[in-house]
């Protein structure tokens, strides 16, 4: 009999091994309780239908009912630092000019001329503007959205210029990101995210980091398959065996908060339960050193007697990364230094506020093919105190067949991990279309974030 059947659904955990909380509880520098508290509940065990990932009709429902009613980060504030700076953000058929109108005011205008619909700025463009002028007939708007000029306005007596401002999406600024929502009645971003997570991020201040690397990758799978690959650590042992030597994958903690936020904490510097008894703590530490010699140097680290690999790793990272970024990390807990904290802000944002994996992700549907998606990967590094913010890295676009490791600034080892994920979702997309079984069967705990994510989609698209 499956051991999980003896326990109430959703209560099973990796047997015989410490939980995330027990691992963190032994750390030398402890994390505050608001970070490590658990927030899980059983959400059922029904299969998730594959048609959600393979159907063009379902993708159309998402555009009509979900993408236009949810908060999404459009760009970083540092992408538009000066008045007049703008960047075009697009998701599916929707397009926006995100522009800094004043030092503390950012607006997002629908990217369409009110004359005959021509885009005012081409897809993927950015720059600094004093006006937004249509290339077709010359109608123009000031950067605050008010009408500047209507060519031959004598022929448009029916147009009241004071009512022809460029339509806007709602905009909020949080953690250094510009967030937009197309729903004029959308709840404030703080309510959408919820007080618990909002408070957690006050500690991390992602607004004090800068974009060191930005990769835009073509993904060979529906945006939801691409997203869900990063919602669990259940795949680590099979997909990333090179990582399992220093990743407590099956011990990871999964949480969700309200309808729009979920999180996992996956501890690093701990041997995978799947490898228990096969390797000692020195081996775990050696994997840490070999995984990124460019950061840690060539000197071999020896584990003192009675000291865990995790303790040494946290101490070394705190010292070395503090020196590299010229910041004081003495008040940062061991878990924040080492572990993978992954937050999904529904629908498509991933924020990793830790120090060792300072990433943010964003997945968007490919507007031309619902079985493909667009993946933005950014690395956010601390801005050294007292120094000017470095200019954000220019996005590097790579195709499905290119490796992440080809991009300057990307660690080759981590690039290989992401390549493995890309291959998985490609096979998953093709397998879902070919499957006799009509849906995926999820774990009650380790894949709870996928179920939570799909339930949120149902609330928007109107599915039961």
CATH number at residue 454: 3.90.380
In this structure, the answer to whether residues 298 and 425 fall within a common structural domain is yes
Any domain includes 67: no
Say whether both 247 and 287 belong to one domain. yes
In terms of domains, do 155 and 215 share one?
Answer: no
Q: What local confidence, expressed as pLDDT, does residue 300 receive?
A: 65
Q: Does the residue 296 lie in any domain?
A: yes
Residues 27 and 129 in one domain: no
Give residue 322's domain range: 3-52+208-461
- Cα separation of 108 and 93, whole Å? 15
pLDDT tier for residue 170 given thresholds of 50, 70 and 90:
very high
| Model confidence pLDDT, tens digit, residues 111-120 | 999 999 999 9
Instruction: Note whether residue 46 is domain-resident.
Output: yes
pTM given for the model: 0.94
Give residue-wise pLDDT tens across range 111-156. Answer: 999 999 999 999 999 999 999 999 999 999 999 999 999 999 999 9
Q: What is the pLDDT of residues 96-114, one digit of tens each?
A: 999 999 999 999 999 999 9
> How many domains is the chain built from?
2
Residue 248 forms part of a structural domain: yes
Beta-bridged to residue 219, according to DSSP, are 373
Please say which residue of 170, 185, 200 terminates a domain: 185
Residues 155 and 213 in one domain: no
Residue 310 lies in a domain: yes
In a domain, 48, yes or no: yes
Q: Are residues 105 and 251 in the same domain?
A: no
Q: Quick check: 50 and 432 in contact, CB under 8 A? A: yes
119 neighbors 89 (Cβ within 8 angstroms): no
- What is the predicted pLDDT for the residue at 294? 41
pLDDT over 90, % of the chain: 85
CATH number, residue 167? 2.102.10.10
Q: Give pLDDT tens digits for 272-328.
A: 999 999 999 999 988 875 444 444 444 567 888 889 999 999 998 998 888 888 888
Q: What's the pLDDT at 292?
A: 41
Q: What's the rounded mean pLDDT across residues 232-260?
A: 95
Burial level of 79, CB count in 10 A (0-12/13-18/19+)? buried
Query: Would you say residue 23 lies in a domain?
Result: yes
Whole-number pLDDT of residue 299: 55
Do 38 and 173 belong together in one domain?
Answer: no
- What is residue 355's predicted lDDT score, i.e. its pLDDT? 84
88 shares its domain with 11: no
More confident residue, 183 or 332: 183
What does the alpha-carbon distance between residue 118 and residue 225 come to, in Å, rounded to a whole number? 33
Same domain, 48 and 83: no
pLDDT tens digits for 392-422? 999 999 999 999 999 999 989 899 999 999 9
Assess whether 367 and 437 both reside in one domain: yes
Mean pLDDT of the chain: 93
Q: Does residue 195 lie within any of the structural domains?
A: no
Same structural domain, 326 and 283: yes
Q: Do 333 and 454 belong to one domain?
A: yes
């Amino acid at each position: 009999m499956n051991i999980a059947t003896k326990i109430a659904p959703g209560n099973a955990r990796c047997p015989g091994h410490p939980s995330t909380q027990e691992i963190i509880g032994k750390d030398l520098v402890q994390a505050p309780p608001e970070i490590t508290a658990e927030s899980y509940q059983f959400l059922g065990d029904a299969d998730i239908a594959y048609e959600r990932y393979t159907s063009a009709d379902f993708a159309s429902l998402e555009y009509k009912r979900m993408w236009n009613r949810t908060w999404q980060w459009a760009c970083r504030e540092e992408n538009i630092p000066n008045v007049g700076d703008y960047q075009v953000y697009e998701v599916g058929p929707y397009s926006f000019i995100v522009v800094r109108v004043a030092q503390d005011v950012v607006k997002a205008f629908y990217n369409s001329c009110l004359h005959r619909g021509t885009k005012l700025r081409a897809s993927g463009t950015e720059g600094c503007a004093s006006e937004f002028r249509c290339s077709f007939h010359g109608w123009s708007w000031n950067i605050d959205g008010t009408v500047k000029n209507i060519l031959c306005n004598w022929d448009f007596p029916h147009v009241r210029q004071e009512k022809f401002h460029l339509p806007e999406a709602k905009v909020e600024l949080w953690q250094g990101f510009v967030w937009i929502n197309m729903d004029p009645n959308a709840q404030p971003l703080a309510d959408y995210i919820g007080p618990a997570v909002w408070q957690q991020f006050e500690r991390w201040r992602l607004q004090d980091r800068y974009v060191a690397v930005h990769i835009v990758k073509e993904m060979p799978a529906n945006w939801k398959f691409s997203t869900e690959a990063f919602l669990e650590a259940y795949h680590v042992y099979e997909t990333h065996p090179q990582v399992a030597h220093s990743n407590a994958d099956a011990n990871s903690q999964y949480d969700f908060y309200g309808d729009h936020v979920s999180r996992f904490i996956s501890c690093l510097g701990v041997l995978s339960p799947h490898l228990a008894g096969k390797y000692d703590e020195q081996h775990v530490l050696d994997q840490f050193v070999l995984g990124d010699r460019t950061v840690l140097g060539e000197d071999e680290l020896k584990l003192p007697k009675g000291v865990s690999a995790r303790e040494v790793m946290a101490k070394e990272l705190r010292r070395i990364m503090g020196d590299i970024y010229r910041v004081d990390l003495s008040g940062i807990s061991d878990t924040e230094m080492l572990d993978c904290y992954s937050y999904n802000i529904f629908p498509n944002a991933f924020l990793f506020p830790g120090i060792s994996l300072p990433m943010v992700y964003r997945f968007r549907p490919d507007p031309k093919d619902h079985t493909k998606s667009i993946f933005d990967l950014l690395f956010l590094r601390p801005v050294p105190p007292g120094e000017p913010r470095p200019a954000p890295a220019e996005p590097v676009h790579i195709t499905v067949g290119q490796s992440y490791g080809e991009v300057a600034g990307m660690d080759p080892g981590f690039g290989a991990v992401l390549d493995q994920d890309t291959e998985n979702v490609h096979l998953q997309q093709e397998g879902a279309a070919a499957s006799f079984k009509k849906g995926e069967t999820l774990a009650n705990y380790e894949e709870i974030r996928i179920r939570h994510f799909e339930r949120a989609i149902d609330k928007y698209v109107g599915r039961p």
